[in-house]
A = this chain, B = another copy of it.
Amino acid sequence: MPQLTIEDIARLAGVSRSTVSRVLNSQPSVRPAVRDRVQEVIIAHGYTPQAAARQLVTQRTRSIGLILPDNVYNLFGNPIFALMSQGVSQVCAQQGYTSLLFMGRQDMNEQDMFKMLRGREFDGVVLISSNTNDTYAAFLKETGIPYTRIGHEPEQDDLRYVDVDNVEAARIGVKHLISLGHRRIAMLKGLARDTCTSDRYQGYKEALEEAGIPLDPELVGDGDWSTASGYELTKRFLRLERPPTALFSSNDMMVAGVIRAVHEQGRRVPEDLAIVGFDDLPQTTMIFPDLTTIRQPCVELGIRAAEMLIEQLEQDTKETTPMHVILPTTLVIRESCGFKRRSVVS
C-alpha cells in the first residue's frame, strides 16, 4: 500500500492540490461537478489526509487527552471513571474531536506525559482529579494548555471545572440515616489526598452536629476507595464494644467490602447495619442488596467538562472566562437502610 498523498489525488482527479484540500475541508467554493469527481477518487483510493501534516499547518490536533487518577483500584476497578469518560467521548464525537484515554499516571511517568502535552499532541485535556496539589493541574496552569477539570481543589484556582457539592451530598446521606433513628453512624473516608474526601467528611460532621450527636473518632475509618479497605475497616468497626448501627461510605466500591465483612460476622444488612453509599454505580445491584446511595451524575460530569473544554478551544479570543459548574446529586433510597428504628439505643 503505497500511501497516496493529496498530490496523487489531485493528479488522478485532474485538479490542483488546493481543490482537493477544499473538498476535504468541505469548503463551499468548488463546483459540484468537480467536487463529486474528487470525492470519487478519494473514496476509490481510500485516501485520508495525514494527520501530522495537517496538524503542522493548522497547529491543532482536534484531539483531547483524558487524564485519569493514578489509583489502580479506581482506574478500571471503579466504573465511575468509565461513566465520566463516556460522557467526554460522547461530546467529543459530536463535535468532531477524538478523545484519547490517558492513564497518564499509571503507565507513564509525569515527565513523559508533560512532554506529550508540550509537544502539542492534544489541543487540550480533561483532567479527572480531586487531588489537592495535583501536579498535572499545576503543569497545565503553568503552560497555559487549555483544560477543564472534573473535581477541584479548595483554592479554586482552576480556570474551569465541574464538580458536585460533596459537603452537601454527604450531609444529606448522613441525615437520612439519622432520620431513621441511627445515632452510632460510622464513616468510611476515601484517600486523604482527595479533596472530595475531606468534603464528604465535612458533610458527615455537619449532619452529626446538627443532630447533636457527638463525633466518635472510633467510628471514622480512613479508607482508600477500594473494596479491600471497606472490608478491613468494617471488620474493625464490628469488633468495637459499641459497634455502629449504620455506616456512610464515601463510595460504592468500599461498600462491597463492607457487605462481605458484615456477612462474615453472620450479621445482616440493613438489620444489623444500615448503609448509605456514594456514586450509585449501575453494577452494584448485582452484587449486594439494593443500595441506598448518593447518586453522582458521572456521565453528565464528563459531558459538561468536554463541552466547556471544546468551547474554550473553539473560541478565538485568548482570554477564557472562568467557569465553575456544580452539578446536583440525589439521594437514592433503596433497601440498604431498612425502615425507621423503633427504639433508639444510643
Contacts and interface: CB of A to CB of B under 8 A. Distances in A.
Interface in A124-145: 143-144
Interface string A91-102: 011000011111
Contact of A51 (B79, B100, B116): B116
B120 A50 contact: yes
A256 B287 CA distance: 7
Each complex incorporates copies of this chain amounting to 2
A56 interface: yes
Given A50-B119, A52-B52, A227-B283, A107 B89 contact: yes
Contacts of A53: 52, 56
A257 B93 CA distance: 34
A47 B61 CA distance: 19
Contacts of A89: 103, 106-108
B77 A283 contact: yes
Given A118-B48, A286-B260, A82 B75 contact: yes
A48 B107 contact: no
A31 interface: no
A52 B48 contact: no
A305 to B, nearest CB: 14
B118 A108 contact: no
A76 interface: yes
Contacts of A228: 286
Contact of A287 (B90, B121, B287): B287
Contacts of A106: 86, 89
Contacts of A179: none
Contacts of A1: 143-144
Interface of A: 1, 3, 46-53, 55-56, 61, 72, 75-77, 79, 81-82, 85-86, 89-90, 92-93, 98-103, 106-109, 112, 115-116, 118-121, 143-144, 227-228, 231, 256-257, 260, 283, 286-287
Given A93-B109, A101-B101, 11 more contacts: A47-B118, A48-B115, A51-B52, A52-B55, A52-B56, A76-B81, A86-B107, A89-B107, A89-B108, A100-B100, A101-B103
In the A-B complex, list the 6 residue pairs whose CB atoms are closest, starting with the nearest: A76-B82, A89-B107, A52-B55, A48-B118, A51-B119, A101-B101
